[in-house]
Chains A and B, each alone.
Chain A
Amino acid sequence: KQEVTQIPAALSVPEGENLVLNCSFTDSAIYNLQWFRQDPGKGLTSLLLIQSSQREQTSGRLNASLDKSSGRSTLYIAASQPGDSATYLCAVRGRQLDDYKLSFGAGTTVTVRA
C-alpha cells in the first residue's frame, strides 16, 4: 500500500522567504504526482502535475521536482506572500492500469507572516 508523508506538518515564515515543502512516498512505481493547495474549509486546487517521466514542473513562483527512484518530491514557492498561507497536499497515482485513486499525504500547513 502506498504511504505518502509530508514533513513538516506546519511551517511559519516571514513574507518574502522561499518555501520548501517535502513529500515522500514508499512505492516508487507511480504514474504521476500532483501538488494541491487547500484553503480552510475549502476544496482542493491543483497547482502542478508531474508525470513519472518528468523531473520537474514550473508555474510562476512554483516549482516542483520529482525524484522517483528515491520516492521524493519537493515544492518550492519563491518569494512567499501572505496569500500563500494555506495547506499544501501532495498526492500520487499508482502505476497499475486499474489503480485509479490518488494517495494523499496529510499536508503541510503554511503561514506566511506579513
Chain B
Amino acid sequence: DTGVSQNPRHKITKRGQNVTFRCDPISEHNRLYWYRQTLGQGPEFLTYFQNEAQLEKSRLLSDRFSAERPKGSFSTLEIQRTEQGDSAMYLCASSYRLDRTQYFGPGTRLTVL
C-alpha cells in the first residue's frame, strides 16, 4: 500500500493557461474523489468516480474543469483558461467502499498569477 499520490505537488501558471493534475489512487480502490481547498477552509467536493464512471459533479466544477479516469485507474483533472480564483490546493482521495475511510493524497497546490 503506497498511498494516494498526486503530481505535480506544486504548479505555478499564468492566468489563461491550461493545467492538468494527476492522481494515482491506492491500487485496490475503485472509488476516487477530487476536492478543492482554499486557505483557512475545509476541502470542498468537486467530483467522484466509481471505476471509470463519473457519477457526481459539484456545481463548483465549471465548464472550464474536466476530470477523467480512463480504465478506472489514475485520474486527471484539467483546468482550462485558469483564473486567479482557481488558486487552491487540489486534493485527491480514494476508498475501497463508500462506507470506508477516504484516503487523501498530498495534494497539488496551484498558484495562478
Contact = CB atoms under 8 A, between A and B. Distances in A.
Interface of A: 4, 31-32, 34, 36, 41-46, 49, 51, 89, 91, 93, 98, 100-107
The 6 closest A-B pairs by CB, nearest first: A104-B42, A101-B45, A44-B104, A100-B48, A43-B106, A43-B104
B99 A101 contact: no
A84 B48 CA distance: 31
Nearest to A99: B56
7 contacts: A32-B99, A36-B104, A51-B99, A101-B33, A101-B56, A102-B102, A104-B42
A41 B106 CA distance: 9
B58 interface: yes
B99 A31 contact: yes
A91 B35 CA distance: 13
Interface residues of B, number: 28
A91 B104 contact: no
Contact of A41 (B35, B58, B93, B109): B109
B40 interface: yes
A36 B4 CA distance: 15
A91 B44 CA distance: 10
Interface in B36-61: 40-45, 48, 55-56, 58
A52 to B, nearest CB: 9
A45 B102 CA distance: 9
